Amino acid sequence: MKNKEETAVLRAHAEVAYAKELAALQKADKHERPTNWLLSPKAVVDYLMGGVTVGKTEISPKYFGSRRLIEVAVATLVTDRALLLVGIPGTAKTWVSEHLAAAISGDSTLLVQGTAGMGEESIRYGWNYARLLSEGPSHRALVPSPILRAMKDGKIARLEELTRIPSEIQDNLITLLSEKLLPIPELETEVQAIEGFNLIATANDRDRGVNELSSALQRRFNTVVMPLPPSLEEEVKIVKARVDKKNWASRAASNKELKEIQRLVTIFRELRSGSSEDGRAKINSPSGTLSPAEAISVVNSGLALSRHFGTGELKAKDLAAGLQGAIIKDPVQDKTIWQEYLETIVKERKGWSDLYKACKETL
Amino acid sequence: MELKVLGIRHHGPGSARACLQALKDFVPDLLLVEAPTEMDSLLDFVLDPDLKPPVAGLIYNAKDLSEAHYYPMAVFSPEYQGINWALKKSIPCRCVDLGIGKQMALEKQGNKHPSQTGSPAQKKKQGDEISNDPLGYLASLAGFEDRERWWEMHFEHTDHGAAIFETVLELMSHIRDQAKGTEDAEPILREAHMREAIRKAKREGFEKVAFICGAWHAPVLQTFENFKATDDKTFLKGLKNINCSATWIPWSYHQLSNNAGYSAGVKSPEWYHLLFKNRNDATIRWMTKAGRLLRNQQMSGSAAHVIEAVQLAEAITSLRDQSLPGLQDLEEAAVAALCHGNKAMLDLIRKHLVIGSRAGKVPKSIPVIPFQKDLEKQIKSSRLQKYRETNKAHWLKGTADKPKGGIDLREPNDQLKSLLLHRLSLLDITWGYFEPSSETDLGGFKEYWKLQWKASFAMRIVEAGMWGNTVESAAINFLKDKAGKVERLKELAELLQQALLAYLPETMNALIKKLDEAGATTLDISLLLELVHPLVQAYTFGSTRQIDIRALESLLMHLIPRVCIGLPNCAQQLDEDASRILQEEIIQANQAIQLLQRKDLDALWTEALVKLSDALHVHPLLTGFSTRLLWDRMIFDLTETEKRFAFGLSSAQKKADAAYWIEGFLYGSGQLIIHQPSLWGLMDGWLQSLDPEDFKEILPLLRRAFSEFSSIERERMLDLARGIKKKEDNMELIPEEVQKVNKELGFLWQKNS
């Protein structure tokens, strides 16, 4: 029965998908836990970084990168301040915030998605109008936002894309974060956050300047900048680990396929950084961000192609279409950049002729 | 005799604190320090209230100041704290490391002991790192970037101050055992020397001796009785010595972090300073300072920010199971809580709170070299004292109205200032950054100076003292020496400029004489040609400064005619590259001779140019260019120029030559050809006469000729070529007027070039 449930959900919450690991950590955790935290700060860091074995359960790494960075993030949540994760798209901001919430509160669902058209009820509370009309303002008519629920329960709330939210709506967070309370004037009452409440917000670097945080709000956050992976090996590791496990069709990736991923990541890194990996050639960068997340989706689509239309093994031609889609965001400029890159770099590189041919065909 | 060896980390604040504690507990009757014997004479000054660390003991070869060693000491250096404590208690102190004089002599022999054969150990690099800071090396092995924190964790929390040193001793004995046989001769000698000093103290009847030394040496000193005294003695015998002098000079944290000439430098002096002075609330102080720093830069860094940052730093530390935040934790907390993730701001914090800008002071009573005395006197008499006392940059005589200030050379006192500053820059003590009143007006009466005194001058002053006992004599000797080494005449002329600015008439005349002699025997005119510009410049400097420049004038009177006569010949048979170089020199000389405003010289120069433009075997670039110069100088009128233009482009000329000619003629400005329809016509006709093959061939040359023009000029030319006539072109232009305007324009580009 349980299996059926798992297959029914397209994507399980972190606390469900990694329930076993969390339980093991919780059992073994001897360190002091802040009030209403399910794990000690140290165990939270271990959960994210992985690589340790607790009892018989191996903890898988969720975040590939600097341990120190995660330590700063977790330490922030211990203090009074909220955490702001900043980075270009695809640097695992949301992923980290989800797992932090799952590890600390066992609940990653208290989520508000920031949008340009968002109203303040998404942060504060709304009303069930049918009730409001029939009963007048009452607690039963109140529809609390996920943040309000987190305050009541002493949990971690998550706010995605903070800088997409208009400034006047953003500012609703100020009292909430500094006084840790939310007044509800209609009911002549207020909700005071209980211990364990905190907020993890994410913001996109590319949105900088659109809805800049007011300095009053900025002061309520500690900012952690999520970097792009420093080396090729690291990035390959990330892509490999995050590629949808279903798509490997219950088998390990062959060496050939790993090489395919390595080529893909190389292309992404080179186009992103503007120079070849050996630093000898200058390369124009296209307009897209080309983050690891996009590399992952290219591999996913490649795998799907090969499974349904190909040999089942990931090959250059399976990747070519996805690659082009990820790189060419602007049909005119990016296309020339991609062509240039194919002709000057891919064509010349040893052992890359199959990839060159495949890409030329799709162009 | 009881001996207590305190093995320390050089410049380790934790070590310094532990060292003080151990001394207080032990109360020795003699303190020995691992510092060269020459520093003994400097100990008297340590208690002087005017001696403020960071300072450095400077030990130098009295005969050759380029051979010098520095021993920096900061307030957090264990040696400084130890010596300071002992002297205050009237406990005698001795510096007992092998003297620098002997070490220098040893170095000259290739680091080989007289008795030793074979080359010294090759593993020097890594060995150095270990022996300079063995505790730091251990910390880095344990994965600590902040070596002080490693010390804190392992040594600070033991119960007893002295107990730390026993642990260190034990640790080092193990490391030394492993490193056996790879040591260089020099450290072994030094250790033998230090053991001898311990034996001497024993003989003299001291009962409790403390020895502060680098942790590396601790094991072999503590167990001095296991080494045979006779062995050490014979080992030390026959060492040569170089006579050295020692003095304290001010040092700075910047230098301390630079590793400049000092292999055991530290990365974060300012942080160490804080750790030593206020260990218990170092985090709070550091963050508060960071907040204030950001506030000063108009960034947010309120007390509330600081509180959050401190809390974060402490949370990070406890997460990492440590008792005190290290520098890295502080920086990470500051980035997240104070800088909003902006790492660029960290640079600012690093500069001020990690490295720092503290500079030391030394007492006036310290033995100074005569040169420095003279310098201080001159600074006083020229009323520059207040600029000397700060480390910040100031414009000389700058005020709110006139931020750049400026001095007037007609004022006697200002002239003194200018002299002193020029002389100092000559001696490489670049206190002042000189800016002439304006680019074109080198002969003005105004000079602008930006002054900034740097701690590093202390060494330069000692170096300059090598040249003489007064600023003037040092400058003279320095220049003379330099003049003797110079090979190119042009460099001589530049030295002459400097001599003039620094008003050293004696040297000046010697240089002029040398130039005169060298010039007379030189057959290569191009060498003389490049002298014209710097000499004329020196001449204008001199005439505004009321310096007797008759000798220089007569030199120019000899030189320029020779150049004029030789120029057409010297320009012959040159290839393109050489011609381009000559062209640049002609430009400079042309400008210089115009500046002199002497009719006789002018006439000679134009004559030379005419000859050059007529010459047959001269590169067309130069003939074209000299034609242009003559037009600009109104020697050639339009008809004459037209004639030469036509000649230069005539069909019998090689096409490439014609293109070069055009390039030379149009050098710098295309206005001429735009405004002279006849010249334009000639060029147009020539271009149209080319057959396609030739055109292809010379296209790159033409492209280069036109590439330097402004886009406006090029557009006008394009319009002309298309036959579009702008309104003003229809006006009747009087040729004389046009030429006048052109002259102005030509002059303009000369100024700009």
For residue B8, what are the β-bridge partners? B214
pLDDT band at B83; cut points 50, 70, 90? very high
What pLDDT, on a 0 to 100 scale, did the predictor assign at position B120?
38
What pLDDT, on a 0 to 100 scale, did the predictor assign at position B592?
87
A224 vs B contacts (CB less than 8 Å): 336, 341
Do B311 and A218 count as a contact with CB atoms less than 8 A apart? Answer: no
State the pairing for strand pair B30-36/B93-97: parallel
Helix crossing, B599-614 with B550-570: angle to 10°? Answer: 10
What pLDDT, on a 0 to 100 scale, did the predictor assign at position A152?
93
Report yes or no: A209 at the B interface, CB cutoff 8 Å: no
Q: Give how far A282 is from chain B: nearest CA, Å.
A: 25
3-state secondary structure at position B70: strand
Give the mean pLDDT of B266-270: 85
Give the model confidence (pLDDT) of B284-323 as tens digits.
Answer: 999 999 999 888 887 878 888 899 899 999 898 888 877 7
Confidence check: pLDDT of B261 > 50: no
Give me B224's structure tokens. Answer: 């001095």
DSSP-derived letter for residue B98 is: P
B303 vs A contacts (CB less than 8 Å): none
CB contact set of B725 (below 8 Å; sequence gap of 6+): B719
Give the mean pLDDT of B24-47: 91
Give the model confidence (pLDDT) of B332-365 as tens digits.
Answer: 999 988 888 888 888 888 888 888 888 888 887 7
Do A81 and B319 count as a contact with CB atoms less than 8 A apart? Answer: no
What pLDDT, on a 0 to 100 scale, did the predictor assign at position A192?
93
Confidence check: pLDDT of B203 > 80: yes
Do A81 and B312 count as a contact with CB atoms less than 8 A apart? Answer: yes
| Closest to B320 (Cα-Cα) out of B146, B193, B76, B487 | B146
Report yes or no: A224 at the B interface, CB cutoff 8 Å: yes
SS3 annotation, B279-331: CCCHHHHHHHHHHHHHHHCCCCCCHHHHHHHHHHHHHHHHHCCCCCCCHHHHH
DSSP notation for B646-669: HHHH-TTS-HHHHHHHHHHHTTT-
Report yes or no: B332 at the A interface, CB cutoff 8 Å: yes
Q: Produce one character per residue of B463-501: b if its CB has 16 or more CB atoms within 10 Å, e if not.
A: bbbbbbebbbebbbbbbbeebeeeeebbebbbbbbbbbb
Do A225 and B343 count as a contact with CB atoms less than 8 A apart? Answer: yes
Q: What angle do CA B57, B390, B292 make, to 5 degrees?
A: 100
pLDDT band at B518; cut points 50, 70, 90? confident
Distance, in Å, from the CA atom of B78 to the CA atom of B9, rounded to the nearest integer, reads: 8
Confidence check: pLDDT of B260 > 50: no
Distances (CA, A) of B733 to B219, B671, B721, B723, B728: 97, 15, 20, 19, 9
Distances (CA, A) of B359 to B44, B248, B464, B518: 21, 13, 21, 48
What pLDDT, on a 0 to 100 scale, did the predictor assign at position B240?
86
Q: Using CB atoms, which residue from B302, B320, B343 is nearest to A71?
A: B320
What pLDDT, on a 0 to 100 scale, did the predictor assign at position B86?
94
Give me B346's structure tokens. Answer: 């960290």
CB contact set of B399 (below 8 Å; sequence gap of 6+): B405
For residue B249, what are the β-bridge partners? B56
Specify the DSSP element, H or E, that contains A90.
none
> Closest-CA residue in chain A for B301?
A219
Distance, in Å, from the CA atom of A225 to the CA atom of B329, rounded to the nearest integer, reads: 16
Sheet holding A198-204, edge to edge: A111-113, A156-160, A198-204, A82-87, A221-225
Q: What are phi and psi of B732, to 5 degrees?
A: -75, 120
State the pairing for strand pair B2-8/B208-214: parallel
Give the mean pLDDT of B485-495: 81
Confidence check: pLDDT of B731 > 50: no
Do B315 and A78 count as a contact with CB atoms less than 8 A apart? Answer: yes
Give the mean pLDDT of B421-439: 80
Q: What are phi and psi of A181, to 5 degrees?
A: -145, 160
B300 vs A contacts (CB less than 8 Å): 215, 218-219
Distance, in Å, from the CA atom of B573 to the CA atom of B484, rounded to the nearest integer, reads: 33
Report yes or no: A66 at the B interface, CB cutoff 8 Å: no
pLDDT band at B119; cut points 50, 70, 90? very low
DSSP-derived letter for residue A70 is: H
Report yes or no: B300 at the A interface, CB cutoff 8 Å: yes
Q: Which amino acid is at B320?
A: R
CB B665, CB B636: distance < 8 Å: no
Do B319 and A84 count as a contact with CB atoms less than 8 A apart? Answer: no
pLDDT band at B93; cut points 50, 70, 90? very high
Report yes or no: A52 at the B interface, CB cutoff 8 Å: no
> Closest-CA residue in chain B for A34?
B315
DSSP-derived letter for residue A254 is: P
pLDDT band at B643; cut points 50, 70, 90? confident
Distance, in Å, from the CA atom of B288 to the CA atom of B303, rounded to the nearest integer, reads: 7
Q: What angle do CA B734, B737, B740 make, to 5 degrees?
A: 150
What pLDDT, on a 0 to 100 scale, did the predictor assign at position B526?
82
Report yes or no: B305 at the A interface, CB cutoff 8 Å: yes
Distance, in Å, from the CA atom of B492 to the CA atom of B507, rounded to the nearest integer, reads: 11
A41 vs B contacts (CB less than 8 Å): 315, 319
The mean predicted confidence, pLDDT, of chain B is 81
CB B556, CB B564: distance < 8 Å: no
H helices of B690-734, in order, are 692-707, 711-722
Do B319 and A225 count as a contact with CB atoms less than 8 A apart? Answer: no
User: Between the CA atoms of B331, B333, B338 and B341, what dihedral angle is there, to the nearest 10 degrees?
Assistant: 80
Total beta-carbon pairs less than 8 A apart between chain A and chain B:
63
Give the mean pLDDT of B477-498: 82
What pLDDT, on a 0 to 100 scale, did the predictor assign at position B124?
43
**pTM greater than the 0.80 cutoff:** no
Would you call A11 exposed, middle or buried from its count of C-beta atoms within 10 A (0-12, 13-18, 19+)?
exposed
Q: Give how far B317 is from chain A: nearest CA, Å.
A: 9
Q: Give how far B333 is from chain A: nearest CA, Å.
A: 7
Q: What are phi and psi of B396, to 5 degrees?
A: -60, 125
> Closest-CA residue in chain B for A214?
B300
Give the model confidence (pLDDT) of B550-576 as tens digits.
Answer: 888 888 887 888 888 888 888 888 888
H helices of B359-488, in order, are 370-381, 385-388, 412-426, 457-465, 471-485
Q: Give how far B259 is from chain A: nearest CA, Å.
A: 29
Do B315 and A84 count as a contact with CB atoms less than 8 A apart? Answer: no
State which residues of chain A have pLDDT below 70: 1-8, 207-209, 244-253, 279-282
Give the model confidence (pLDDT) of B573-622 as tens digits.
Answer: 888 888 888 888 898 888 888 888 888 888 889 888 888 888 778 888 88
Do A79 and B311 count as a contact with CB atoms less than 8 A apart? Answer: yes
Residue of A66, A76, A93, A162 to mutate, interface with B, max B Cβ within 10 Å: A76
Do B341 and A225 count as a contact with CB atoms less than 8 A apart? Answer: yes
| Closest to B164 (Cα-Cα) out of B326, B325, B9 | B9
What pLDDT, on a 0 to 100 scale, did the predictor assign at position A196?
92
* Tally of CB atoms within 10 A around A4: 7
Do B337 and A81 count as a contact with CB atoms less than 8 A apart? Answer: yes
Report yes or no: B308 at the A interface, CB cutoff 8 Å: yes
Do B315 and A224 count as a contact with CB atoms less than 8 A apart? Answer: no
B327 vs A contacts (CB less than 8 Å): none
Give me B466's structure tokens. Answer: 């090598």
Q: Give how far B322 is from chain A: nearest CA, Å.
A: 13
CB contact set of A201 (below 8 Å; sequence gap of 6+): A82, A83, A84, A85, A158, A159, A160, A162, A221
Distance, in Å, from the CA atom of B674 to the CA atom of B680, rounded to the nearest integer, reads: 7
What pLDDT, on a 0 to 100 scale, did the predictor assign at position A1?
42
Cis peptide before B219 (omega within 30 of 0): no
Distance, in Å, from the CA atom of A189 to the CA atom of A184, rounded to the nearest integer, reads: 5
Distance, in Å, from the CA atom of B526 to the CA atom of B579, rounded to the nearest integer, reads: 11
Give the mean pLDDT of B690-712: 78
Confidence check: pLDDT of B745 > 60: no
A84 vs B contacts (CB less than 8 Å): 341
> Closest-CA residue in chain A for B304?
A219
Share of chain B above pLDDT 70, in %: 88
Distances (CA, A) of B137 to B146, B161, B217, B603: 11, 22, 15, 75
Report yes or no: B275 at the A interface, CB cutoff 8 Å: no
Would you call A309 exposed, middle or buried from its count of C-beta atoms within 10 A (0-12, 13-18, 19+)?
exposed
* Tally of CB atoms within 10 A around B327: 22
